[in-house]
């Protein structure tokens, strides 16, 4: 039967026939319209199912990438009830309070900072810092740190939007303190800020040189360190076993401030292990200057994010890394993952390498374990009610159990058992 043989069904009737998908009527109408106008009403169900699949939902991360950018970076388990909150009410005085007195104050304590504020993400944090401290003036940056972090965060572009002028110093691979000194001598007070940007997602190896934070702190300018990843303390007091070897020399907020940075900026959802957010922590007068800038109002988070950040900050203050999903997963011993893989009873148990991900710690691998089954089964795994995201390694579909919640092991088992997937 060709399309011409039958009159196209009414959009409304077709939409009604799809009600069992559970989608609201207007979405079904859209699916029906799209199918009819493409001349294939029979496709309406598939279009509706695609719409349903596109909606935000929990997925099982079997990739072993702990901070998977496509899967929302750090997983957080925060729920709030329908109640009002004291978001901007000081319960002691009954007066208007500040939302920055809640989670941000706790985060400051975690980092050993005088003060902190929170914005939408780290890109926003850098934007706000530069706009607040260097608008109409200049920021000195090493050419080796004019980075693109991914997702369109390019330091020179952010700088341009902040209204600060960029003064580049040094070369791609080598920049010395003297290069900064020279630029500051030349530009005088116009060079208001020195910005250090962590090369989060790449490494320059070989003949390289860059001044340390402590050296840059001697320049007599406001020193801002965009550390990005949000490691709060290099000693990791929230882990009973201390800092894992794979952390390498990742810069940490507390030590960067101790070395003389006036402000640090970092993401909430990378190594900090919280929700998407950007944190500005450091000197109280500079944090206050950022908070007073008109952009701060446009970039501020709501109670949902502040609640999740508060829970994360409390876990740090309680030295309870187990309460932070990223740190709990990142530090699971390989033996434990191996025995979970054996208990699944499907596929072949194998050792694999997890990665921190999230544009942090490039090249770092964490020994892990999982299971493999023959062939590329990624499509069918992804199309399950509870999507499972897997990798293909040498023709086999591999699930790394490090990033899988133990509660979901049975789901993996069901998905990989032949004839039931
Ligand atoms: C990841 C990163 C950013 C961007 O952070 P978002 O929270 O994604 O906006 C900025 N700077 C550095 C150094 C980073 O690593």
pLDDT at residue 286, as a whole number = 98
Query: For the whole prediction, is pTM greater than 0.85?
Result: yes
Residue 287 falls inside a structural domain:
yes
Q: Please indicate whether residue 73, judged by its CB atom, sits closer than 6 Å to ligand 1.
A: no
Q: Please indicate whether residue 179, judged by its CB atom, sits closer than 6 Å to ligand 1.
A: no
Q: How far apart are CA 267 and CA 323, in angstroms?
A: 19
Write the pLDDT tens digit of every residue in 47-73: 999 999 999 999 999 999 999 999 999
* 385 and 317 housed in the same domain: no
User: Domain holding 360: CATH number?
Assistant: 3.90.1150.180
Q: Whose CA is nearest to atom 5 of ligand 1?
A: 122
Centroid of ligand 1 to alpha carbon of 421 (angstroms) = 38
Residue 270 falls inside a structural domain:
yes
Centroid of ligand 1 to alpha carbon of 408 (angstroms) = 30
* 37 and 129 housed in the same domain: no
Q: Please indicate whether residue 359, judged by its CB atom, sits closer than 6 Å to ligand 1.
A: yes
* 320 and 357 housed in the same domain: no
Index of the ligand 1 atom closest to the CA of residue 278: 7
Q: Model confidence at 3, in pLDDT bands (50, 70, 90)? A: very low
Q: How far apart are CA 215 and CA 275, in angstroms?
A: 33
Centroid of ligand 1 to alpha carbon of 64 (angstroms) = 21
| Residue 1, pLDDT above cutoff 50 | no
| Residue 172, pLDDT above cutoff 90 | no
Q: Structurally, how many domains does the chain consist of?
A: 3
| Residue 163, pLDDT above cutoff 60 | yes
What are the structure tokens assigned to 154, written together? 């390019």
Q: How many CB atoms lie within 10 A of CB 174?
A: 15
Look at residues 325, 343, 378 and tell me which one is the last residue of a structural domain: 325
Centroid of ligand 1 to alpha carbon of 322 (angstroms) = 25
Write the pLDDT tens digit of every residue in 89-139: 999 999 999 999 999 999 999 999 999 999 999 999 999 999 999 999 999
Beta strands at 278-282 and 263-267: parallel, antiparallel or unpaired: antiparallel
| Residue 260, pLDDT above cutoff 80 | yes
Domain that holds residue 194: 99-325
Mean pLDDT of 234-242: 97
Index of the ligand 1 atom closest to the CA of residue 358: 1
Q: Please indicate whether residue 277, judged by its CB atom, sits closer than 6 Å to ligand 1.
A: no
* 104 and 69 housed in the same domain: no
Residue 223, classed as helix, strand or coil, is: strand
* 307 and 404 housed in the same domain: no
Mean pLDDT of 330-358: 96
Write the pLDDT tens digit of every residue in 361-407: 888 999 999 999 999 999 999 999 999 999 999 999 999 999 999 99
pLDDT at residue 7, as a whole number = 66
Q: How far apart are CA 265 and CA 385, in angstroms?
A: 38
Centroid of ligand 1 to alpha carbon of 253 (angstroms) = 14
Average predicted confidence (pLDDT) for the chain: 94
* 278 and 407 housed in the same domain: no
Q: Mind giving me the DSSP string for 50-101?
A: HHHHHS----EE-S-EEE-GGGTSS-------SS---TTB-TTTSSB--GGG
Question: What angle, rounded to 10 degrees, do the helices at 44-54 and 25-37 form?
Answer: 130
Q: Model confidence at 157, in pLDDT bands (50, 70, 90)? A: confident
User: Domain holding 146: CATH number?
Assistant: 3.40.640.10
* 110 and 221 housed in the same domain: yes
Q: Whose CA is nearest to atom 14 of ligand 1?
A: 228
Q: Please indicate whether residue 198, judged by its CB atom, sits closer than 6 Å to ligand 1.
A: yes
pLDDT at residue 6, as a whole number = 57
Centroid of ligand 1 to alpha carbon of 270 (angstroms) = 9
* 383 and 287 housed in the same domain: no
* 185 and 297 housed in the same domain: yes
Q: Please indicate whether residue 153, judged by its CB atom, sits closer than 6 Å to ligand 1.
A: yes
Residue 82 falls inside a structural domain:
no
Centroid of ligand 1 to alpha carbon of 110 (angstroms) = 20
* 255 and 203 housed in the same domain: yes
Residue 90 falls inside a structural domain:
no
Centroid of ligand 1 to alpha carbon of 386 (angstroms) = 29
* 10 and 143 housed in the same domain: no
* 169 and 150 housed in the same domain: yes
**Contact yes or no for 246/366 (Cβ under 8 A):** yes
Beta strands at 366-374 and 396-400: parallel, antiparallel or unpaired: antiparallel
Residues in the chain: 421
């Amino acid at each position: 039967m060709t399309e011409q043989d039958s009159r196209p069904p009414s959009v409304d009737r077709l939409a009604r026939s799809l009600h069992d998908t559970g989608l609201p009527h207007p979405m079904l109408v859209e699916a029906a319209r799209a199918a009819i106008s493409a001349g294939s009403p029979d496709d309406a169900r598939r279009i509706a199912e695609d719409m349903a699949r596109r909606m935000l939902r929990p997925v099982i991360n079997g990739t072993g990438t702990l901070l998977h950018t496509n899967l929302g970076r750090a997983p957080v388990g925060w729920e709030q009830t329908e109640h009002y909150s004291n978001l901007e009410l000081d319960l002691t005085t009954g007066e208007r309070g500040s939302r920055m007195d809640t989670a941000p104050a706790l985060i400051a304590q975690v980092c050993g900072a005088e003060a902190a504020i929170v914005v939408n993400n780290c890109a926003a944090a850098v934007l706000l810092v530069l706009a607040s401290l260097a608008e109409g003036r200049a920021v000195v940056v090493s050419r080796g740190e004019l980075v693109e972090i991914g997702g369109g965060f390019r330091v020179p572009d952010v700088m341009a939007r902040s209204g600060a002028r960029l003064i580049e110093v040094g070369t791609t691979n080598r920049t010395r303190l003297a290069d900064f000194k020279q630029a500051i001598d030349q530009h005088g007070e116009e060079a208001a800020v020195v910005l250090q940007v962590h090369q989060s997602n790449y490494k320059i190896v070989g003949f390289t040189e860059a001044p340390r934070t402590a050296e840059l702190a001697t320049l007599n300018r406001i020193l801002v360190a965009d550390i990005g990843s949000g490691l709060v303390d290099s000693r990791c007091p929230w882990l009973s076993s201390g800092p894992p070897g794979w952390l390498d020399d990742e810069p940490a907020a507390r030590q960067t401030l101790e070395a003389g940075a006036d402000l640090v900026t970092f993401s909430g959802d990378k190594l900090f292990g919280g929700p998407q957010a950007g944190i500005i922590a450091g000197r109280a007068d500079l944090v206050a200057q950022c908070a007073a800038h008109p952009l701060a109002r446009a970039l501020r988070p709501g109670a949902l994010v502040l609640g999740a950040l508060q829970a994360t900050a409390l876990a740090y203050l309680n030295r309870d890394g187990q309460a932070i999903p990223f740190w709990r997963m990142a530090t699971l011993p390989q033996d434990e993952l191996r025995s979970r893989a054996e208990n699944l009873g499907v596929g072949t148990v194998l050792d694999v390498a997890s990665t921190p991900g999230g544009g942090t710690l490039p090249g770092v691998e964490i020994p892990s374990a999982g299971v493999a089954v023959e062939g590329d089964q990624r499509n069918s795994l992804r199309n399950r009610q509870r999507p499972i995201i897997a990798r293909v390694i040498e023709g086999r579909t591999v699930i790394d159990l490090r990033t899988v919640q133990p509660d979901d092991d049975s789901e993996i088992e069901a998905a990989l058992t032949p004839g039931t997937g």
